[in-house]
Amino acid sequence: MIMKKSLLILRLLSCAIAPALLISCKRDPGPCAGLKPVSADFKIGQKFYEIDSIFYIDTLILDPYKNIYTPARIGFIANEENATYRWELKDYPINYTTKSFSIGFDKPFGKVEVKLTVNKEPNTSCFPNDDGADTVTKTLVVLDGSKFKYAFEGTFTGYLTDNPSDVFDITIVNLGEYPQYDPYDNGHYGLRVYNLPKGCGRNNFSPAEYTPEIGGRTYRNFYIEGKGYANVPCGKDPFIAVGRVYDHNNKISMFIATYRYDYSTNKNIRTDSQFIGIRKK
């Protein structure tokens, strides 16, 4: 009895003083840990040219130019590996059978129903009720850019993380496509960001004022490439920024990399910051 009690105390002490041994103090998770039944869940993804990343979406905006919509290529990616797949898209006669595929959208269809059916040999030892078949249906909303705004348009109040006490507004405005006759003689159109850097654009929401332009974008994500100009409000240092809105499109986050040329070392010095804001209007 004394021997058994001593062994128990030694085991408890080893668990308390040797973290590496804690695994022996925990219950074995078993062979089914981390596994899931067969699932037909999938993601809908979109890229833009400036960044080699996939942004997962549920809404797509098609922008018209001279009454012709700029096409967008959208990817559909199943989560389940090594299965058989059957994709069905409303108004699309082709049924795709690969794990992933992409198609181009060139018209604002409204709601597009996407259905995936997956079949796979189930792991019945872990999931005895799994028959290996599953179906998931999702809806992709394809909007007309002449009638709907991007989710990130509007005014946001926030700060840069390298100077959180300096609170200011940024405004993202769509000034439309370039007209046939430009009254500003090289005006600045499209999606523009005012007050980034602070003071840029002077809150004169007009193509007459230079501001950085949003290039690549999805409905909620966007990319900015600020070229850097000698004019004081917009700063002389070029920058790139990747942003998104979230929390029902009421919050915004932008990761910003600014490049300044150091003549003493003949190198570009990169400074990173982040703008965090809350929608004002």
Here the tokens at position 1 are 């009895």
Give the least confident one: 1-5, 116-120, 135-139, 211-215.
1-5
**Residue 198: pLDDT over 60:** yes
Give the domains, in start order, of the chain with CATH numbers.
42-144 (2.60.40.10), 154-279 (2.40.128)
Average pLDDT over residues 223-243: 83
Structure tokens at 242: 């990747």
Q: Is the bond preceding 197 in cis, omega lying within 30 degrees of 0?
A: yes
Model pLDDT, residue 186: 87
Helix (H) or strand (E) holding 56: strand 51-56
**CA–CA dist 219, 244 (Å, integer):** 9
Residue 190, number of CB atoms within 10 A of its CB = 15
Confidence of residue 15 (pLDDT cuts 50, 70, 90): very low
Q: DSSP per residue over 96-141, as a string?
A: --SSEEEEEE-S--EEEEEEEEEE----TTT-TT--SEEEEEEEEE
Counted residue by residue, the chain has a size of 281
Task: Classify residue 205 by burial, with Cβ atoms within 10 Å: 0-12, 13-18, 19+.
Answer: middle
pLDDT tier at 221, thresholds 50, 70, 90:
very high
- Asked which of 13-17, 18-22, 170-174, 232-236 is least confident by mean pLDDT, the reply is 13-17
Lowest mean pLDDT among 10-24, 92-106, 144-158, 202-216: 10-24
d(CA 176, CA 191): 7
Reported as a single tens digit per residue, the pLDDT across 31-81 is 889 899 999 999 999 998 778 789 999 999 999 988 899 889 999 999 999
Q: pLDDT by residue (tens digit) across 90-140? A: 877 778 999 999 999 999 989 999 999 999 999 999 999 999 999 999 999
Please list, in sequence order, all residues whose beta carbon lies within 8 angstroms of the beta carbon of residue 40, skipping any fewer than 6 positions away: 78, 80, 116, 117, 118, 134, 135, 136
